[in-house]
Amino acid sequence: MKDYKAYVKYSKAGPRYTSYPTAVEFSSKFKYEEYIQILKEQSRNLSLYFHLPFCRSACYFCGCNVIYTAKEESKERYLDYLFKELNLLDKILDTKREVVQMHFGGGTPTFFSAKQLERLILKIKDVFRNFSEDAEISCEIDPRFLNDAQADVLTQNGFNRISFGVQDFDERVQKEIHRIQPFELTKEAVDRVRKRKIKSLNMDLIYGLPYQSLESFSQTLEKILLLNPDRLAIFNYAHVPWLKKNMRKFDEKTLPTPEVKLQILEFCEKFLSQNGYKMIGMDHFAKENDELFKALQDNTLHRNFQGYTTKDGADLIGIGLTSIGEGIGHYAQNFKDMSSYEKAIDEGFLPFERGVLLSEEDKIRKEVIMSLMANFKLDIKKIEKKFNLKFEEYFKQDLEDLKEYKDFVSKDENFIKVNETGVLLIRNIAMCFDAYFRNISEDKKVFSKTV
């Protein structure tokens, strides 16, 4: 195992690049009327994201936009507004376009009952009637909230990918992060969906949580193998207590150091590769027969707000509180505040709050950054041809910045390639091509640490 002390200097605040420009650049300069016009003119396939924001209690590590409640009327009221939002979209969008992807995110989507989930699914299919036969239809699930009826509703209505939140199986870590989830409980949930012939099962883990060590996390990985997921997402914990109050409950002295986190990530890559998984992009792993791995081999892997995907070339429509949509030249985000979300819909408007229209330079840099984030390499000639530019001239300053990572990157006239160690610093490497990031002051607390 490498000595990572020399790498700790690269631990700096930086984006995860689920978008470019990042959400920090979203603003009200992108007007509602412009957004509506774009939606009316779109003609590509559709990808739908539904945000179901409720959880019964807080997990202290969570950075998602979540509402904590046990009230049944809150869920029913939210469904009513989702239906109204769908009705508004039906009048604006060409909803006859083919849907190639749909995802339920949260919160905890299965905090909604089987009956409520079915109502929502039927409403969606009433509005969007043209689902592709091979559409990827997925749902995030907290194993603590899944029963047979919910599993039946999902699988009988075409859901073919399930993503289970696990985070860590260590009892001390679970207690500290306020998420008690024994291995046996998780196994029951896995068996429940496996029995229903689910196509693909993903598990989310997080490294960098309080009291984690290389030894404890390796034990979690060994238990994960017993559950045999098709994919794994192993995220670096984003500690942003200035943004998320629940994170202030942690004693920061209990968080593993950047050196330990790099050791954990290196172990994950080696251990999982020895057990039939390949590293996909920055933080994902998949079996060799998985379409994500095949996309990586074919250089057709793409990155968006839902992580890595093979479904490029579709317009993403974000539906629900805080949801983000994406098109060829824009990002659009709904209101984060429930009262503003409801008010907009009550007045007959989509709950659009802010976003960004991409300039030509944004599109160029987005292509570069997303290619590096997804494939760990960049086809220089492809960029030059697509955007009619000379790479060395256009990215003169960026390539100068990239020299800081010369030990992790190789470059010739055709390709920029990130080596095995550089993969651990891919966010830093991508940042070299981020024109906005150069203008963010060092003391501005926006992003989590890259390591």
For the chain, which domains are there? 13-319 (3.80.30.20), 359-435 (1.10.10.920)
Integer Cα distance of 365 and 430 in angstroms: 10
Q: Over the stretch 276-329, which tens digit does the pLDDT of each residue have?
A: 999 888 889 999 888 888 888 877 787 777 778 877 789 999 999 999 999 999
**Reduced 3-state DSSP string for 227-277:** HCCCEEEEEECCCCCCCCHHHHHCCHHHCCCHHHHHHHHHHHHHHHHCCCE
- Model confidence pLDDT, tens digit, residues 399-409: 999 999 999 99
Give the separation between CA 350 and CA 51, rounded to whole angstroms. 15
Given a contact cutoff of 8 angstroms between Cβ atoms, the answer to whether 438 and 24 are in contact is no
Residue type, 185: L
CA–CA separation, 241 and 246 (whole Å)? 7
pLDDT per position as a tens digit, 84-142: 999 999 999 999 999 999 999 999 999 999 999 999 999 999 999 999 999 999 999 99
Residue-wise pLDDT tens for the chain (451 aa)? 566 777 778 888 889 898 999 999 999 999 999 999 999 999 999 999 999 999 988 999 998 889 998 888 999 999 999 999 999 999 999 999 999 999 999 999 999 999 999 999 999 999 999 999 999 999 999 999 999 999 999 999 999 999 999 999 999 999 999 999 999 999 999 999 999 999 899 999 999 999 999 999 999 999 999 999 999 999 999 999 988 999 999 999 999 999 999 899 999 999 999 999 998 888 899 998 888 888 888 777 877 777 788 777 899 999 999 999 999 999 999 999 999 999 999 999 999 999 999 999 999 999 999 999 988 999 999 999 999 999 999 999 999 999 999 999 999 999 999 998 898 899 999 999 999 998 876 555 578 888 8
Please give the pLDDT value at position 421. 86
Residues in the chain: 451
pTM: 0.94
